[in-house]
Amino acid sequence: MTNKNNKGLGRGIEALFQEFDETNESEEVVTELKLADIRPNPYQPRKTFDEKSLAELTDSIKKTGVFQPIIVRKSTVKGYEIIAGERRFRASKLADKETIPAIVREIDEASMMEIAVLENLQREDLTPLEEAEAYNTLMEKLNLTQNQVSERLGKSRPYIANYLRLLGLPLEVKQMLQTEKLSMGQARTLLALKNKKQLVALAQKTVHDNLTVRQLEQLIAKMNGKGAKKGKKVVKDPNEPYYKQSETALQEKFGTKVAIKNRSKSGKGKIEIDYLSTKDFNRILDILGISLD
């Protein structure tokens, strides 16, 4: 079950998954459970399943049944919850089966959530939005910071932060991303638009005109610069490369968008740090060493 070719796994969660995976199945009992008594993992990050792949699995189950049992745990509410094997569960229902072979394991809430996220990140291509929601779920349900999530999953903090920023997009734009009308690169580029009221219209234009990321960047640069005074000669700031490098360094440190603005000849200006939620705000305060206790 563990994919040995995955190089990006954090040691903590990899060990968790390996421990889950290497349970001695020969000592476990495979039981036929009623499909009606089973419900999907509530922490399943995947919202949609490939219909063609599911149809093929359904046909296979109709002919030969389910060879590999699904893994479940007893629900604290009623029946059982799936830990691993939701595709087999869905396909069995489509095949009009009444029962499915299953192994019942004892597993706590936190481990179940991590396994659900990890299994999908390893095996299936989540959409960018589903991946972002998976990271956000880990942060909210397990009370983790971006840095802790990045350590557990073996990914950089800026990588996690870039995905989490997608959750700030308007619903219409999220739907375009989820249905793959927009790419991850296009969606990330849209976030640079200053006037957020124009986001949906620009996203629609991006899809309609099939704009590349580079074309979109150029268009957004023009739209962001519309408020500048006309006729006034723009004097290039010799310190611009330094400011750009500083922005990049700050973004790496805080794992979110940082902008250095309103720079003047006197050297005065301001630094703007984006945050996505109260928890993200507190994470930034922690990085700055600020405690309000």
Q: How far apart are CA 40 and CA 104, in angstroms?
A: 14
| Residue type at position 134 | A
Distance CA 254, CA 157 (A): 8
Cβ pair 145, 275 in contact under 8 A: no
pTM for the model: 0.55
Phi and psi, residue 144, nearest 5°: -105, 155
Q: What is the pLDDT of residue 280?
A: 77
First to last CA, the chain: 45
Biggest CA-to-CA distance, the chain: 80
Give the SS3 label for residue 160.
Answer: helix
What CATH number has the domain spanning 27-114?
3.90.1530.30
What is the distance between the alpha carbons of residues 184 and 208, in angstroms, rounded to a whole number? Answer: 17
Select which of 86, 114, 131, 133 is catalytic: 86
Q: What is the pLDDT of residue 59?
A: 92
Walking along the chain (293 residues) 10 residues at a time, the average pLDDT comes out as 37 43 62 92 71 88 90 88 88 93 86 72 72 83 83 83 91 92 92 91 94 92 72 61 77 79 71 81 81 66
Residue closest to 66 by CA, chosen among 92, 93, 41, 105: 92
Q: Would residue 86 show up in a list of annotated catalytic residues for this protein? A: yes
Which of 61, 70, 146, 137 minimizes the C-alpha distance to 104?
A: 70
Burial class (CB in 10 A: 0-12, 13-18, 19+), 265: exposed
Please give the radius of gyration of the chain, using alpha carbons only, rounded to the nearest integer.
24
Q: What is the reported pLDDT for 1?
A: 38
Percentages of the chain per state (helix, strand, coil), in multiples of 5 = 55, 10, 35
Segment holding 206, helix H or strand E: helix 199-209
**pLDDT confidence of residue 9:** 36
Domain boundaries, the chain: 27-114, 169-229, 239-288
Could you give the CA distance from residue 86 to residue 123 in angstroms, rounded to a whole number?
13
Find where tokens 């580079």 sit.
Answer: 214
In the structure encoding, which two tokens stand for residue 163, read together? 């995905």
